[in-house]
Amino acid sequence: MYCPYCGANIQNDSVFCRNCGKQVGMQYPPVQQQGNTSQYNVQTGNAGREWVVSILLSYFLGALGVDRFYLGYTGLGILKLLTCGGCGLWALIDFLLIGFNAIRDASGLPLTGREGKEWVFYLLIGLSVLSFFIGFFLSFLGLA
């Protein structure tokens, strides 16, 4: 095997090139069977944090910071809990970040299981918009 950067001959299991020092292979953290489930599992490719669970937690309990606790951001979860989700704005932003899969868990790994389940995000957005218009219409009529 040869280094793609400098062309030096390296061993097949090398992580770094001895000649130029650049990373040439992937180095995975060890898989733990107990404890922290956010370790990357090389055999299954599972990061341990599910997108669907994250989006549902963010929609229903996002103002309490439960979504941040689930993703491993304990400090941000406590702050979000104390501020009631940043008066709702922080909860909305986190919901959108998780929905568009633009956030990672605390160990830097992407959320898994979004493929084919995007309809959950769009359904939750549709329910929110519908409830807004129903509330607006009822308040306009003086029924709410």
82-132 pLDDT tens trace: 999 999 999 999 999 999 999 999 988 889 989 999 999 999 999 999 999
**Is residue 6 domain-resident?**
no
Give strand pairing partners of 110. 104
Does a structural domain hold residue 1? no
Residues 127, 108: Cα–Cα separation, whole Å: 31
What is the distance between the alpha carbons of residues 50 and 115, in angstroms, rounded to a whole number? 11
Number of domains in the chain: 1
Residue 131 domain-assigned? yes
- 20-76 per-position pLDDT tens digit: 777 787 655 554 544 444 445 454 444 579 999 999 999 999 999 999 999 999 999
What is the pTM (predicted TM-score) of this model? 0.66
Structure tokens at 110: 């992407």
Instruction: Show the tokens assigned to 3.
Output: 């280094």
Alpha-carbon Rg for the chain in angstroms = 22
Does 4 map to a domain?
A: no
CB count in 10 Å sphere of residue 121 = 22
Range of the domain at 74: 51-141
What does 73-106 look like in DSSP terms, one character per residue? -HHHHHHHHHTHHHHTHHHHHHHHHHHTT--B-T
